Amino acid sequence: MERCRLILPKLANSLYISKDAPEVLTNFDAENQELAGDFFYADQISLKLQEAISLIKDSDLENSLLRKIRDKWSKDIQDDFINASILYESKLRRKSVFSILQKFNRIMAGGYSINSMHDLMGMEFVIFTPTKFDTPESSKQLYEAANIILRYFSNSKRAGERFMICDASPLKDVYSLEDLKDKAKRIEITAYLQSLNPYIYIPKKTGLSPEYVKFVKDYFLQPKLKGYQGLQFVIKTADGFYIEIQIKTQPIYSYKNNPKSPIFHKNYRKSQTQKSYKQAKKCTVPQFDLRYNPEKVNIYGFRDNPDEDTSGIISPTFWTLRKNTHF
């Protein structure tokens, strides 16, 4: 098979001449647009980059969206959670430059549409549990929280504007429902996942309201192969921005943020980068070259370590929304 060619733009080209995250994406897009006509994905990527740039660069637009999320939507949802006796915390995340470009590579390698990338902005809800283990009760509260959020964004009068709840794309890298319904295979799968995360619980059926099932990626019912669980769905605002909403229980959140976990962000990012380069060596799909020399980057707040980066290049930008930790 013909080897995959690494094509311009290279991330290094943009990093070395830019002063901040918006400029990195702008410079990257300028090189990307030179490929239009010769590279199938060029125009699609340019449109998605312009969406990302507008969110990062236009502080008025970003602040307007942040105010609606923080002062209206998350406040209304908090009231509903309190009425349902759900303890939780929530935050808003904007995807980092590196993550955006890394995801482009995965999309191209998989032959998917760039338009399937809907997580430039994301809201995360963590549902607190009375113990460090997930249980049928914590599973019930997780699904109840999802139903509350979906019901809220389906009610334009209450939310203050119309939203589109997007159909969920197929689940990837998960255990099949057929295997999970088979008693012997379920025992084997559960034992393996508990070796990774001893606090895991896999429900036998979803707790989503039937009208919402097609909109939600239910990784709680069908865990990923390395033990990730949670619920994910995407809403589109009246202004045309997509926001991915993730809901997890505290045990899953703790597992995801354990540095020894295979789904810890730094470990996951490393494995995905390695996967991209392996694909680049054996496939015919173009890949952007995301390698760079950290010593040549002169961007304020930039650190090659995701735990230290504050520039938005390597690590996402977070805003705390609301929390309800006691009654």
**Res 90 pLDDT > 90:** yes
For residue 195, is it within any domain? yes
Q: How many domains does the chain have?
A: 1
Q: Which residues pair with 243 in a beta bridge?
A: 121, 235
**Res 78 pLDDT > 60:** yes
pLDDT band at residue 281 under the 50/70/90 scheme: low
pLDDT of residue 215: 97
Cα angle value 272/275/280 (rounded, 5°): 130
**Res 306 pLDDT > 50:** yes
Q: What is the pairing mode between strands 121-127 and 242-249? A: parallel
Contacts 24+ apart (CB under 8 A), 176-182: 176/222, 177/221, 177/222, 180/221, 180/222
Q: What residue numbers bound the domain in which 94 lies?
A: 6-324
For residue 155, is it within any domain? yes
pLDDT band at residue 65 under the 50/70/90 scheme: confident
For residue 173, is it within any domain? yes
180: its two tokens: 């999970």
**For 127-131, what is the mean pLDDT?**
92
The residue assigned the tokens 């890394």 is: 102
- pTM above threshold 0.85: yes
Dihedral over Cα of 29, 48, 5, 35: its sign? negative
Strands (E), 43-175: 88-94, 121-127, 164-165
**Res 314 pLDDT > 50:** yes
pLDDT of residue 2: 42
Here the CATH number for the domain that contains residue 153 is 3.30.460.10
For residue 1, is it within any domain? no
**Res 292 pLDDT > 50:** yes
Preceding omega of 9 cis (within 30 degrees of 0): yes
pLDDT of residue 1: 36
